[in-house]
Amino acid sequence: MSSYIRKRVPKKKSTEPDEILTATKQISDRFRDNMNLIIFTVGGVLFVAFISLGMMWLKTTKENSAAKALTEVQASYNRNAGVTQEEDVQVDPEALRESLAGFREVMTDYPDMQQGKSAALYAANILFRLGSYQEAAAVVEDLITRDPVFASRLNAPYLLARSYEAAGNYESALEAYSRVLDGTREDLRALLMMDIARCHELSGDPASAVEVYRDVVDQYQDSVFAVKADTKLAILGIQAEGSL
């Protein structure tokens, strides 16, 4: 007797409620994790942008403040104690000291900014005018050390040499003048050579002074400096070779 065996057809697997909850939780967890990542990322970008904008604002504000402070002191200096076209006009030392205090305040408040460096050079010039040559040299030395390019652009090395000379420090003055001479343009070389010759003369080395004066006469025959150098040679009891 044959038997009939009914082939069992497997039923399609159904999704259990627990599986649905598990899948939903996974999606929720991933969404939450991604949302946290998005929030942290956006927050970080906004924080960096906020800091950058804040720094830019502070920098702009500081630059404006520095420019305003320097402009006010310059105006006061030019009004009360600035250089005039009349060389014999005597400027009140108190007016100079008042301007000096203003420039010192700017250079102290903004030491690394262009306004502060400009104020330092103004202060050095005023100190020179007041006869405080050592202090003037110290201010210029500091400026050259901190920003040699800026200092060179505004001829601070020449002021340093003049300050050394006025203070009687002829050795340092000669070194400073020589450094300026090495990097100067042709039309200023005669002036610097006269400065160097004068320093030699003041330091008690007339032989070196004569040598430089003769070089000026030889190299710049048609200039006013050649006439001055020839006159200096005559005062020293020596004639320029071209005059022999």
Location of structure tokens 């039923």: 11
> Is residue 164 domain-shared with residue 104, that is, in the same domain?
yes
- Residue 29 within a domain: no
> Is residue 190 domain-shared with residue 138, that is, in the same domain?
no
Per residue in 92-135, pLDDT (tens digit) is: 889 999 999 999 999 999 999 999 999 999 999 999 999 999 99
When comparing pLDDT for 32 and 163, which is higher? 163
Alpha carbon of residue 184 to chain centroid: 20
- What is the predicted pLDDT for the residue at 61? 80
pTM of the model: 0.71
Instruction: Give the side-chain half-sphere CA count within 13 A for 190.
Output: 17
In the predicted model, what is the mean pLDDT of residues 29-38? 55
> Is residue 190 domain-shared with residue 146, that is, in the same domain?
no
Q: What is the CATH number of the domain that holds 119?
A: 1.25.40.10
> Is residue 68 domain-shared with residue 164, that is, in the same domain?
yes
- Residue 125 within a domain: yes
> Is residue 125 domain-shared with residue 206, that is, in the same domain?
no
> Is residue 112 domain-shared with residue 204, that is, in the same domain?
no
What is the tally of structural domains in the chain? 2
Handedness of CA 175, 176, 177, 180 (dihedral sign): positive
Q: Which domain holds residue 238?
A: 184-244
- Residue 114 within a domain: yes
